Amino acid sequence: MSSRSSIITSVIIVVLVFSAIGGFIFMTNPYVPAKIAVVVNEPGFGDLTMADQVAEGLDELAGDIVVDYTYFTATDEANAEVILEEISVSNEYDLIVVIGGELGDELQSVAQFHLDQKYAFIGGEIVASNIISATFLQHEAAFLAGVLAGLASIGDENRTGTGIVGIIGSVEADPTIAAMIAGFKQGFDYANNTLNLTITLLPEVFVGSYNNSAKAEELATILFNDNDTTILFTPVRASMPGIRSAMILANSTWNSTRRPLVIAAEGDQDYFGLPDIQTRTGSSWIITSIVPRSDLAVYKAINATLWNKFEADTDIYNLEASGDDTDTPGVILTESDFINNEWTPLWIFDIINGLREDIISGLITVSTTYP
């Protein structure tokens, strides 16, 4: 929890806010809030993944101090570069936050000509004197997700399982997506070989976009119904409504012991597999999500900027605690209250938690590439 203390003098008001991340946020004039620009690709906030996770961090910060946010949603990468140039030239913003690794080239192109402007790059790395970068080793959590998928794809007395797992990605050329799929494959093979299973991983398919729910639904429906897939790994970003539609369709036609299970990525989407996402009760078909704590990263970057401790660097978030007085890991594989333990037994998560410690200790190394 945050705590506040203020010192009022006859000359100035100084507000010190102890943040949830650690450290203090400093303002010499509370009546003129800091100005922060946030740039993201379409669909912007509401993408169910990294942008929404960042929004949580901004909401947390808003509870500590008043900040004036301006949001810019780019139609594509070229438009993002135009926006970045315009707001950088304006000199209006204490910090410009750019969300999404796909905007790295555009940010680098603009930032090199505005060295007095501070930037935060969430989801990628740029080495520059005016950029704080935050990268997330989601491929490590994807390894755990691959093991979980393999184990959960096998049926028992409570559920029908075909032992078949599929992957649907957003954009094949995206290095973050490629790394997660590589990690997932390594985990799946670990389950198949080290744990002596007999399971099948189908070749991955791609939506070809970050925001095409119709295509995602088409691919997921084929995998569920034509390929007898038990579990899908779906790092598809804003195309997740299509995955949900395919789950609903499969659930309405399958027998009572077979469930259309999904492992989500790039944000906490566990609730999105509930029969009714408005009430958020019941059992979710999304059995876990890979969550990069981009909310922590944006909080830390803004905190440093307002405290005048901005230092260009790359913060790496992984399965370990992220530091800065918090025990929260920088990347999480969720184990939410929406899990039905008849569909995903607790003993599977016991194995996953043990493997997480093996990755942290270096006993298991997860690569960003895999055949």
Question: Which tens digits make up the pLDDT trace of 130-176?
Answer: 999 999 999 999 999 999 999 999 977 777 789 999 999 999 999 99
Residues 42, 158 within the same domain:
no
Q: How high is the pLDDT of residue 32?
A: 67
Q: Is residue 272 one of the residues assigned to a domain?
A: yes
DSSP string of 317-371? E-SSEEETTEEEESEEE---TT--TTTS-HHHHHHHHHHHHHHHHTSS---S---
Residues 132, 23 within the same domain:
yes
Q: Is residue 366 one of the residues assigned to a domain?
A: no
Question: Any idea what the CATH number is for the domain that residue 128 is in?
Answer: 3.40.50.2300
Asked if residue 346 lies in contact with residue 287, where contact means CB atoms within 8 angstroms, the answer is: no
pLDDT class for 23, splitting at 50, 70, 90?
very low
Average pLDDT, the chain: 88
Residues 297, 153 within the same domain:
no
- Span 303-326, mean pLDDT? 85
Tokens of 10: 């006859």
Q: How high is the pLDDT of residue 21?
A: 38
Model confidence pLDDT, tens digit, residues 3-21: 333 322 222 223 333 333 3
Residues 129, 143 within the same domain:
no
Residues 280, 168 within the same domain:
yes
Residues 110, 231 within the same domain:
no
Q: Is residue 310 one of the residues assigned to a domain?
A: yes
Query: 10 Å Cβ neighbour count for 320?
Result: 16
Q: Is residue 319 one of the residues assigned to a domain?
A: yes
Tokens of 86: 């315009």
- Span 303-320, mean pLDDT? 93
Which of 154-163, 197-206, 318-327 has the lowest average pLDDT?
318-327
Q: How high is the pLDDT of residue 323?
A: 56
Q: How many domains does the chain have?
A: 2
Distance CA 180, CA 170 (A): 11
Q: How high is the pLDDT of residue 326?
A: 62
Residues 162, 269 within the same domain:
yes
Structural domain range at position 75: 3-136+293-328
Residues 275, 147 within the same domain:
yes
Residues 261, 301 within the same domain:
no
Residues 159, 303 within the same domain:
no
Q: How high is the pLDDT of residue 17?
A: 35
**Burial of 75 from C-beta contacts in 10 A (0-12 / 13-18 / 19+):** exposed
CA 162 vs. chain centroid, Å, equals 29
Q: Is residue 244 one of the residues assigned to a domain?
A: yes
Residues 106, 93 within the same domain:
yes
Residues 264, 349 within the same domain:
yes
Q: Is residue 147 one of the residues assigned to a domain?
A: yes
Q: Is residue 39 one of the residues assigned to a domain?
A: yes
Q: Is residue 368 one of the residues assigned to a domain?
A: no
